[in-house]
Structure formats: C-alpha cells, structure tokens
Structure 1
C-alpha cells in the first residue's frame, strides 16, 4: 500500500457533531459543548502539520479517510477500593456507547475542511472509522484522541470502453 497523502495524530476528547439547537433569539448553536474543543484540536494539529509543507493545497480530489478514535474507559469498568485500577472481567472490549461513530467522523471532517486539509468534506468518498479504548488495539493512543490518515483515491476510467 502506498503512503498516505496526509496523516495526523490529534490529542483531546473526540466529540460528535451533533444536532443544532436554536436559542430564544433564533440563533443556531451546537447542542454538544464538547464539539468545539475537539474541532479546534483537530484544526490546530492539522495547521501545525501543514506549516511544514509550503506547497500544500487543500485536497479536492476523491480521498479515503481512515480514522481511529481513542476514548477513555468509563470509571464503572474498573473495580473499587483496592481493585480501583483493575479492569472488571465484565468490561467490554470495544466502546459501543456514545458518542456515535458517524457523528465523530462528521466533526472531524468539518475540522479538516476548516484547517484547509480538504477543500470540502464532500471529496471524501470512502471512510474507515473505528473507536477504541486507550491502548487496546492498532492505532489506539495512550490518551484520548485520534489517528487520521488520508489517501488520494486512484482516478480510474469512468466507464468501460467497448
């Protein structure tokens, strides 16, 4: 497999791009207060990575996005008292609760667009996304965050020739 066109590691608590609400004056705002810090973390990490590439132009061709979100285990996965640091046998291996994976991808794609990595998030034609607990698998980080890789998709013939 070829090297990714762009890759990035972001630290922070992944947050979903949720619904929008209206205040009493009719202005829209995010229903999740955590989405702004997450989008800022992704944006600033991307901008920092792009400062080293003076020739960078936002990607406007078809791309594939691979992202692994690392989330912290809830406290109830661990024992209490002298077993406070011991994982319970009943603790799940994978984070199946909130936040929803598709909403995490939405907030991350929006941040990549804001940072100038993507010209528009509509150029993402394929997505591989996963959630993992801290240090529990490939690309799982030691702290909450995400590992992102973007590959340019090959431009194959649009229609078969007779």
Structure 2
C-alpha cells in the first residue's frame, strides 16, 4: 500500500459467498519460559479461505488511491446476508416462498454466527487486502445480520448470501 493513498469518501464493496465467523481463539502454552500462543480454530480451512477470498476481492476491486493510511480513523458499516433455513420455506406449490411467519425473521440462531466474530473476520480480511493498514483504525462500526431477501427495503441486504462492506473516513473536527 502506497503512502500517498488516503480514503477520501465512502467505498462500497459487495462480496458474494457464505459469511463465516472468525474462529474462537485458544491459548496454548504454559507460563514461565514458554510464551503463550493464541491459535484460531479452523479445522476445515473454510474460514481461512473465506478471509482470503474477501482480501483478494477487495484488493482487486477497490478503487485505486482509496486505501486508508496509518492513523486515519475509519468507520465501517457491514451487512451480512445469510441463507434462510429450509424450515422458513413452504413445500409443494409453495416451495421457494418464505412462509408468512418468517418474513420478518432475523438470523438469531446459533448456526448464524455471532455478529462480532463475523465482523472481526471481515476487518482482518480488509487489512490482508491492503485496504486498511490496521483494523484498529476502525473506530465506528455498524454490523448487521439479515436473511437473503431480494425485495428488502434495506439497501445492503442481498438477494444471495454475501457481505456488503461500506468503509468511510471519519472526519476529525478542526481544533
């Protein structure tokens, strides 16, 4: 990342795919002479592949000269669009239609992931993709989970699984 680049306005990126959480961290080691090591659980490698996909997608698709610089405060508005469970859909002639009881449902089940862990993986991927120098530069966040809904009134809810990332500079007030 070049030092001349600076994020001057909001950038929106749409990344298709099935959002995954950053794994839980586990401390391994003992006190004393051996340092503790934090390991992230990812037995299948799927989380690492999703993180690399986001990093590669943003690296290739991010506007030139719009990477944040070290010390620049940033805001992130991130929407995760998740597949609905099969139980939300009708059967027979109603196959593919969301049941009325589930049209306003939010993804709150254990299988939808914690929003903070979803967010952590995306912020790490933005750092890997050279969009931000360090994820600690993000000082404001808004993260939301929604189900796939092609007719949603919310602008960043997708008609397919994926994540919408809006990254913007935080204006520092003049002294």
Q: Provide TM-score, normalisation by structure 2.
A: 0.75
> 1:17·1:32 contact (CA, 8 Å) conserved in 2?
no
Structure 1 CA distance, aligned partners of 2:43 and 2:14?
23
Structure 2 CA distance, aligned partners of 1:148 and 1:157?
28
For 1:11-160, list aligned pairs within 5 A.
Answer: 11-20=16-25, 28-31=39-42, 33=44, 34-50=46-62, 53=64, 55-60=65-70, 61-91=72-102, 92-97=104-109, 98-134=112-148, 135=150, 136=152, 137-157=154-174
> 1:70·1:145 contact (CA, 8 Å) conserved in 2?
yes
Structure 2 CA distance, aligned partners of 1:43 and 1:88?
36
SS in 1 for 2:101: coil
Q: Pairwise CA RMSD of aligned residues?
A: 2.5
**TM-fit CA distance, 1:3:** 4.1
* Uncovered stretches (5+) of structure 2, i.e. residues with no partner: 1-7, 29-36
**TM-fit CA distance, 1:16:** 0.4
**TM-fit CA distance, 1:49:** 1.6
Structure 2 CA distance, aligned partners of 1:110 and 1:40?
10
* Uncovered stretches (5+) of structure 1, i.e. residues with no partner: none
Alpha-carbon distance change, 121 to 143 in structure 1, aligned in 2, over 3 angstroms: same
Alpha-carbon distance change, 101 to 32 in structure 1, aligned in 2, over 3 angstroms: farther
Alpha-carbon distance change, 94 to 138 in structure 1, aligned in 2, over 3 angstroms: farther
Alpha-carbon distance change, 74 to 148 in structure 1, aligned in 2, over 3 angstroms: same
Structure 2 CA distance, aligned partners of 1:66 and 1:29?
25
Q: Provide TM-score, normalisation by structure 1.
A: 0.81
